Structure 1
Amino acid sequence: MSMMTRLAAPVAVAGLALFSVPGGASAAEQASGYLDAVEDMPLMEGLHETGDGGVVFDKPNGRIIRSVATGKVAPEAVRRFYADALPQLGWTRAKKLELIRNLLVFRREGERLEIQTVPETGGMTEVRFSIEPE
């Protein structure tokens, strides 16, 4: 782990503790950790990475990351959590690119993040994270 990575995680945690999300709990209280492949991408409470579709490529023009999480959470709660949390971490929402209802699109430092929620049976929701260079 590089010195920058070790320093970035505490800064990200501190940033999450500074704002609150609907329902009165801070995002830090609603986050259960971070995605394995992205040290500053909070994982909403109730979601757990599945290992399915997990891919990380570092290319000369940027990184490509795919990760999947699932949990017994409402798709709308997932979208609300990330719409509130990610701007605090430097991501800017690109609503014009959200062509389907269950998709959030963000941009940061030459990267594009897509978060897609897929409702499943039994109240489960699959959340697909995708980061790639723009």
Structure 2
Amino acid sequence: MKNAFRIGLLGLLLLWGKAVSAQDLAFLSALEDVPLMAGLSEATDEIVYFDTPAGRIVEAYAVGTVTKSSILSYYKESLPSLGWQASSTTSFKREGEYLSLFISMDGKDATVRFALSPNAK
């Protein structure tokens, strides 16, 4: 399943006319179906992961010198191609899961917190 998402994203990027190889695509290690935007680096020592009867709860972080608008634009464009439906500019739903992005800026440095939880029914 993970490879199918990567292949789909690669195909979408190629359709957009961008020359991208499979090695250029990166995904969050704890959220293998959420891409890591170029310019961001995952803070792997900050990952929180729980499996619950209701579903998984994951918190992951990425940092980099990118703008808030570029982060919002990237995830607005890339997540729907991976099956995520936008609920707002920073939240997405898919298959019983809810993904929220929290972006904080410190000067030119951005921190993105990815919070995944079971979808409230």
Normalised by the size of structure 2, how large is the TM-score?
0.85
Equivalent residue number for residue 114 of structure 2: 129
Q: Which runs of 4+ in 1 moved over 4 A?
A: 26-29
User: CA shift at 1:79, angstroms?
Assistant: 0.7
Pick one of 79, 90, 93 that aligns with 1:107.
93
Q: Partner amino acid for 2:72?
A: R
Distance 2:21 2:76 in 1: 14
Residues 21-36 of structure 1 correspond to what in structure 2 (within 5 A)? 25=18, 32-36=25-29
1:119 corresponds to which residue?
105
Partner of 2:31: 38
Shift of 1:11: 0.9
CA contact (8 A) 1:27 1:85 kept: no
**Deviation by residue 1:103-130 (Cα, 9 ceiling, x = unmatched):** x000011111001111112x11101100
Aligned-partner residue type, residue 77 of structure 1: S
The answer for the alignment partner of 2:74 in structure 1 is 81
RMSD: 2.3
Percent sequence identity over aligned pairs? 34
Counterpart amino acid of 2:73? R
Maintained 8 Å contact 1:16/1:27: no
Q: Are residues 1:16 and 2:21 paired?
A: no
Contact 1:19 1:26 in 2 (8 A): no
- Give 1:101's aligned residue: none
SS at match of 2:8: helix
- 1:60 is aligned, of 38, 53, 63, to 53
For 2:20 and 2:30, locate their aligned partners in 1 and report how far apart those are by CA, in whole Å: 20
Partner-residue secondary structure (3-state), 1:118:
strand
Aligned length: 117
**Residue segments in structure 2 that go unaligned for 5+ positions in a row:** none
TM-score normalised by structure 1 residue count: 0.77
1:24, CA displacement in angstroms? Answer: 5.6
Shift, 1:51, TM fit: 3.1
- Name the CA shift for 1:13/1:48 in 2 (closer, same or farther; >3 Å): same
* Equivalent-residue separation in structure 2 for 1:24 and 1:119 (angstroms): 31
In the TM superposition, residue 9 of structure 1 has moved relative to its aligned partner by 2.3
